[in-house]
Structure 1
Amino acid sequence: MRELAGTVLVGESFEPVRGRVVVEDGRIDAVEETDTDSTDLVRPAFVNAHTHRGDSVAKEAAVGLSLGEAVAPPDSLKHRRLAAADRDELVSAMGRTLRFMRRTGTVSTLDFRESGPAGARALREAAAETGVDPFIFGSGDPSVLDVADGYGASGANDDEFAAERAACEDRGRPFAIHAGEPDATDIHPALDYDPDLLVHMVHAEPDHLERVADQSVPIAVCPRANAVLDVGTPPIRELLDHTTVALGTDNAMLNQPSMFREMATAAKRFDVTDREVLRMATAAGAEIADLDCGAIEPGRRAALLVLDGDSDNLSGSEDPVRAVVRRATGLDVERVVG
C-alpha cells in the first residue's frame, strides 16, 4: 500500500480535495479528505489520444512542408523515411519518444502505427520497458488485427476500407479514421464507415456535427500539429457540444509529444474551460480506448501524475486546475504512478 498526499483532483470534475489517495495492488483503494502538509498536486496521468510514434525517426524533418508533402500516403517524406528506416533504428527511436512521454506524465497513447503487422510488433517491442502502454491502431490489410488493438485508416479519400471495417466489426475491435484535416470532403465518407473514432475534424461543418452526434462518434483533436501543417483550426467548442473530444499530439515528426504543451494551447486559444481541457487530456482518451484510468476514483487503475506544487513554476498558483492545465510543464513532474 502507498499513499499520495496533497491537493488531489478528484473524479471527472477534478474537484480539488486536500487529502490523500490510497493505492493498493495498482488500483485506487480510497480517496480521503484529511489534513496534510504536502504541497504536491495529484492528478490523473495523461492519455494521449492520437500519435504516430513511428515518425520519431524523422523529428522536425517536415517543418515547412505542406500536409501532402509531409504525411500523405504513399509518397510523402514521412512514408519515405519510414520505408528507409532500419528496424532497430525505428524501435530505438520510438522507445526514446515513449520514455519522454512517460517522464512527462503519459501512461497510454492511442497510436496509428504504419507498416502493417510488422509495424505494430515494432511498437510493442519499443514500448516494453517504457511504462507507456500503447493502444495500437494498425494499418495494412485486416490481418494486422492479429497483433493490433484496432484499425487506423489514413482517410476516406485515400483508399477503400470496407474490408478493414468489417474485420473490426467481426472481432469487436475499434475502427478509427482521419477526417476533415485538409478539407471537408472526406468527412461524410468517413462517417459512412460508422467509425469508433475520428481524428482531426478541422473542417467540420454543422451537418457533419449532426451526424457525429447522431452516431455518437468521439473525436481526437491535435491543434498544435494542425498549426504546424497550416491546415486550419479545429472547432473544439462546437465539437465538445456534440460529442466526446480528446486531445492528442499527432506526429512525433512535427511536435514533441508534450501533453502539457497541448493542454496549454487548447486552454489559451479555444473557447473551452480548463476542466474541459484536462478531461480531454485524460478521461476522454481513456474512455475512447476503454482504458480503466483517466480519473481519480476508488476502483480505478492508479495511473497518477504527481506535480510539485511548490516548484518555482507552480508556487503561488491560486487555482490548481488552472495551474496544471495552463502553467505546468514536465519540469514540475515529481513522479508518474501506474
Structure 2
Amino acid sequence: MALTISNISLFIGENLEYIDKGYVVVKNGIIESVGTGDYKGKSDGAIYDGEGILAIPGFINAHTHIGDSFGKDIGVDAAFETRIHPIYGIKNKILRKSERKHLVNFMRSSAMSMMRNGIVAFADFREGGLEGIDQIKEALSGLSIKGIVLGRPEFYHDLSKDFVKNPKLPPDVIELVFQIANAADGLGISGANENTDNSLNEYGKVIHKNSLKKKFLIGIHAAESLETTKKSITVTGKSEVQRIVSKLLPNFVVHLTHASDMDIELVARKKIGIVVCPRANGTLGVGIPRISKMLSSGCCVGIGTDNIMINSPDMFRELDYVWKVSRTLADRPIPAREILKMATVNGGKILDLNSGAIMTGKSADIIFIDKNNLDISPMHDPHVSVIHRANASCILNVMINGKFIDGDEFGCM
C-alpha cells in the first residue's frame, strides 16, 4: 500500500530545491514519486493533506562515538589528549570501567535522542573490538534509526618509538580485524599517529580483501589538533593526511581541523569524503575546520556530532553553528543550502547510503517540519529557517524507511 502526501512543501532532489506546493508518494519504504503542484495520480493507499508542513531529508550524522554516552561532560576542562586519547584518555577509562548494561542503556538513549532531533542514520566509530560491536547492536535493537558500525581492535602503536622500525600488525590482531570487519560495516580507525605505515597499509588490505564479498567502509581521524598535526610532521616528515592517503586510502577522513591547503586538495583529488565536527572541535578548543576551502576545492563534506561525552547529537545545533562561524570567518560565507546538504545529501554519499535526498528511488527517510511553529514562522527563506532557527520542537514526525517513528522510539510515554 502506498502513502501519498499532497499539498506539502518540500526540499526536492540533491540540490534541495524548495517547492512550496508538491507531493511525495512512499511505497515499500522507498520514495516512489515526488513532484510539484497537485497530485493527479491514482493511489492504492491513503492520501493525506500536507498543508502547513515542510518535508526535508532526514539528517545523516556521519561521525559519532556514542559509547561514551555514559560520561557526558566528564573532564570538561581537561586538555585535548587527556580527554579523548585512545590509550590513556578519560574516554578510554570510562569505556573500560563502566558496566556493560550502563553503556548499552545510554547508547540506546543517545540513539533515541538522535531520532527525536531528525537524525535517520549515523556512523559510529565503535571502540572495544567485537564486544563493542555487540554492545551497540544490542543498544540499537528494535529501533528504526540506521546505525553504520565501524569497529576497531584496541591495538595502537607509539609512533615516536615505532615509526623507524615500522612494525606490521601482529597476526592475532590481523585475525581480529577480519572478525571485526565481518561483524561490522567496516573500520573506524583512531588516527595515523597511532599507526605505522605498515599497520595502516594492512588495515586497508583487510578491508579491500573483504570488500570482494561485502561492501565495507574505512574511516579515520586526521589533523584534529595542532599537536597531532605537528607530531606527524616531526616524526614522519609527512602530514597525517599524506600518510593516510598513501597507505590506507579510506572512504572518508574525520575532522581535518588543521589540514593544509595541500592536504585538502589531496583529499579532493582522491575523492575521499570529509566529515567535519565543528561543535566538538569548539568544545575541545582545537579550532574550526576550513569548510569553505574544502567545498571550493571540490570535496564532499558531511557533518558529524562526534563524542557524546563532549557534544550533544543535535544536527540542528551543528547547522546553526556552522552557519554563524562561516559568516564570521570565511571569505565567502557558505550558503545555507550547502550547509544543509552537508547534513543530508553529502552524508548519504560519504556513507554510501540510499538516503539523504527526497527523490524517486531513495529510501523514504524524511523529517516533517511544522511551518507554523513559533520559532520559524514566517519562513521567508526556508533553507535559512531550517539551519538557523529550527529545532526539535519544530518536528511533527520523522519517517525512516517509509515508517513514522512512534512515541516509544522518541523516548516518550
Shorter-normalised TM range: over 0.9
Counterpart-to-counterpart distance in 2, 1:139 and 1:251: 16
* 2:308 counterpart letter in structure 1: A
TM-score, with length taken from structure 1: 0.97
Counterpart-to-counterpart distance in 2, 1:256 and 1:187: 27
TM-score, with length taken from structure 2: 0.80
Match of 1:144 among 173, 180, 191: 180
**Structure 2 match to 1:171:** 210
Cα drift, residue 300 of structure 1: 0.9
**Structure 2 match to 1:161:** 200
Counterpart-to-counterpart distance in 1, 2:320 and 2:134: 33
Counterpart-to-counterpart distance in 2, 1:149 and 1:197: 14
Alignment of 1:188 onto 2:242 = yes
Give the SS at the match of 1:157: helix
Counterpart-to-counterpart distance in 1, 2:202 and 2:308: 29
Counterpart-to-counterpart distance in 1, 2:5 and 2:200: 46
Q: Aligned runs of 1:213-232 on 2, under 5 Å?
A: 213-232=268-287
Counterpart-to-counterpart distance in 2, 1:30 and 1:37: 16
Alignment of 1:8 onto 2:47 = no
8 A contact 1:102–1:130 mirrored in 2: no
Counterpart-to-counterpart distance in 2, 1:318 and 1:171: 50
Give the SS at the match of 1:154: strand
Cα drift, residue 125 of structure 1: 1.3
**Structure 2 match to 1:49:** 62
Cα drift, residue 174 of structure 1: 1.9
* 2:23 counterpart letter in structure 1: R
* 2:314 counterpart letter in structure 1: S
How big is each residue's C-alpha offset from its partner over 1:75-123, in whole Å with a ceiling of 9 and x where there is no partner? 1100000001111111101000000101111111011000011111211
Alignment of 1:199 onto 2:254 = yes
Count of matched residue pairs: 338
8 A contact 1:30–1:298 mirrored in 2: yes
Counterpart-to-counterpart distance in 1, 2:50 and 2:114: 29
Mind listing any 5+ residue stretches in structure 1 that lack a counterpart?
none
Give the SS at the match of 1:56: helix
Give the SS at the match of 2:193: coil
Cα drift, residue 37 of structure 1: 6.7
Alignment of 1:314 onto 2:376 = yes
Match of 1:91 among 99, 104, 110: 104
Alignment of 1:38 onto 2:44 = no
8 A contact 1:153–1:161 mirrored in 2: no
**Structure 1 match to 2:397:** 335
Alignment of 1:253 onto 2:309 = yes
Match of 2:78 among 42, 46, 65: 65
How big is each residue's C-alpha offset from its partner over 1:272-324, in whole Å with a ceiling of 9 and x where there is no partner? 11111111001111111111010000111100000111011111120111111
Match of 2:354 among 279, 292, 304: 292
Counterpart-to-counterpart distance in 1, 2:79 and 2:395: 35
**Structure 1 match to 2:148:** 135
Match of 2:28 among 25, 29, 32: 25
8 A contact 1:4–1:42 mirrored in 2: no
**Structure 1 match to 2:295:** 240
Cα drift, residue 207 of structure 1: 1.3
Counterpart-to-counterpart distance in 1, 2:244 and 2:386: 35
Counterpart-to-counterpart distance in 2, 1:182 and 1:24: 46
* 1:171 counterpart letter in structure 2: N
Give the SS at the match of 1:297: coil
Task: Identify which range, 290-299 or 32-41, moves more after superposition.
Answer: 32-41
Task: Identify which range, 90-99 or 237-246, moves more after superposition.
Answer: 237-246
Counterpart-to-counterpart distance in 2, 1:187 and 1:263: 26
**Structure 2 match to 1:277:** 339
Give the SS at the match of 1:210: helix
Match of 1:303 among 351, 365, 377: 365
Give the SS at the match of 2:249: coil
Aligned CA-pair RMSD: 1.3
* 1:29 counterpart letter in structure 2: E
